[in-house]
Amino acid sequence: MKQAILQLLVSSSIWTSLRPSSAQTSNIDYIAPAVAPTELQILRASSGSSTQLEWATIATGGGTVTSIAVTAPANEFNVTGSPIASSGTIALAWKNQAQNTVFAAPVGGAGAPSFRSLIPADIPALDTAKISTGIFDIARIPVGTTSSTVAAGNDSRFHQQNTDTGTSNSSFVINNTSSGVRLLDMSGALALRTYANDGYADIIVRNLTVQGTQTIINTEQVEVADNIIRLNSNYSGSTPTEDAGFEVNRGTLALARFYWSETNQKFMSGLAGSEKAVANIVTQDITSGSLSGGVYTWSHGLGRKPLLWAVWDNTGDGVLIQPNAVNANTMTFNFSGMTLTGTWTLVAAG
């Protein structure tokens, strides 16, 4: 086998390849190794001959050093084993960070990253089509179309009709501001209170129906637009027996009353227990044309015989005349021999 020769050429006193320890002025021939190299071997000058080359294996680690150190960002890493003065291992480990933080550049600009809280600007805008799972908080539901539907779930701010089962809270505020009102449970009674619960609130309704047996009004003034107040409105028969009216509280004194008496078929008034019948007064205007043969029959409609009566001429003077007949509903006057000038007035009380 012919031995290979490696020739190193000199150019300007410097080798163009392997460089000697001192200036070389002539070419040197190196004898190549007679064997083929193995994996990861390199070619080097032989320690036994100045002109012989040999294959050498690359060192894989180990050995010692005199001084080496490593530094790392103190907020993110723990460094152990540094510095090394002879041999050893330098290790880097992540430091524990606060929960719900991210490793990112500073807020608002470029810079070295660090662990910080996530802000909305860190998250790019996503089309709703990209979110296909999970449960939306009701305040974050995107704008939909008129045909969109939303499942209420257990969100307390979304009310699904006809599903209420009640609440253990004793109050509920409508319009959560200082001008709002509060529905309050007061020992089983519903009270309408102010937002601060420091007084009663006003209520405005259209038609109000009270199903209970009493209505108590604690006020100094009551105004009613109706011109007729109906009492005993729940009676629909033809033989009423209950009296109806009103009474005035006078403290420790006897009550003052005004009422319709079904027994007497009259309005009664006075102090309780000593009421007297209230006289009804009716009037009728007549002229000479109202007479028939000088007689006038008056249908006064009192329902009982009048207790008092009077006749006034057109000047306002009283006329002395007695009725010919007095009945529960009519009176007959004979004006024969009298001259009726203008309009006269008949008065009856009973």
Extract the tokens encoding 290: 């109202």
Extract the tokens encoding 252: 């420790």
Average pLDDT over residues 107-133: 86
State the Rg of the chain over Cα: 60
Greater confidence (301 vs 34) lies with 301
Greater confidence (61 vs 128) lies with 128
Model confidence at 338, in pLDDT bands (50, 70, 90)?
very high
Q: How much is the pLDDT for 132?
A: 79
Model confidence at 141, in pLDDT bands (50, 70, 90)?
low
Q: Where are the domains of the chain?
A: 5-57, 226-277, 281-349
Q: How much is the pLDDT for 12?
A: 52
Least confident residue range of 100-114, 122-136, 202-216: 122-136
Is the peptide bond prior to 73 cis by the omega test (within 30 degrees of 0)?
A: no
Residues 249-270: tens digit of each pLDDT? 999 999 999 999 999 888 999 9
In the block, tokens 């007679």 appear at 34
Average pLDDT over residues 130-135: 78
In the block, tokens 């723990």 appear at 78
Residue 1 reports pLDDT greater than 50: no
Q: How much is the pLDDT for 58?
A: 79
Per residue, the 3-state secondary structure of the chain, as one string, reads CCCCEEEECEECCEECCCCCCCCCCCCEEEECCCCCCCCCEEEEECCCCCCEEEEEECCCCCCCCCCECCCCCCCCEEEECCCECCCCCCEEEECCCCCCEEEECCCCCCCCCEEEECCHHHCCCCCHHHCCCCCCCHHHCCCCCCCCCCCCCCCCCCCCCCCCCCCCCCEEEECCCCCCEEEEEECCEEEEEECCCCCECCCCCCCCCCCCCCCCCCCCCCCCCCCCCCCCCCCCCCCCCCCEEEEECCCCCCCEEEEEECCCCEEEEEECCCCEECCCEEEEEECHHHCECCEEEEECCCCCCCCEEEEECCCCCECCCCCCEECCCEEEEECCCCCCCCCEEEEEEC
Residues 75-86: tens digit of each pLDDT? 999 999 899 888
Greater confidence (89 vs 284) lies with 284
Rounded Cα distance between 342 and 329, Å, is 26
- Please say whether the beta carbons of 203 and 185 come within 8 A: no
Extract the tokens encoding 320: 């002395």
Average pLDDT over residues 285-292: 97
Q: How far is CA 68 from the centre of its chain?
A: 66
Average pLDDT over residues 35-52: 84
Residue 245 reports pLDDT greater than 90: yes
Give helix then strand counts, H and E, for the chain.
0, 23
Question: Cα dist. 197→10, 56, 165, 169, 174 in Å?
Answer: 107, 95, 25, 15, 12
pTM score, whole prediction: 0.42
Q: How much is the pLDDT for 201?
A: 94
DSSP state of 255: P
Mean pLDDT of the chain: 85
Model confidence at 142, in pLDDT bands (50, 70, 90)?
low
Q: How much is the pLDDT for 153?
A: 57
Q: How much is the pLDDT for 139?
A: 66
Question: Cα dist. 248→25, 215, 256, 259 in Å?
Answer: 144, 16, 5, 11
Extract the tokens encoding 112: 């070295």
Question: Cα dist. 192→95, 170, 206 in Å?
Answer: 59, 12, 17
Model confidence at 227, in pLDDT bands (50, 70, 90)?
very high
Residues 12-37: tens digit of each pLDDT? 554 444 545 455 566 667 788 888 88
Yes or no: domain 281-349 corresponds to CATH 2.60.40.10: yes
Q: How much is the pLDDT for 79?
A: 92
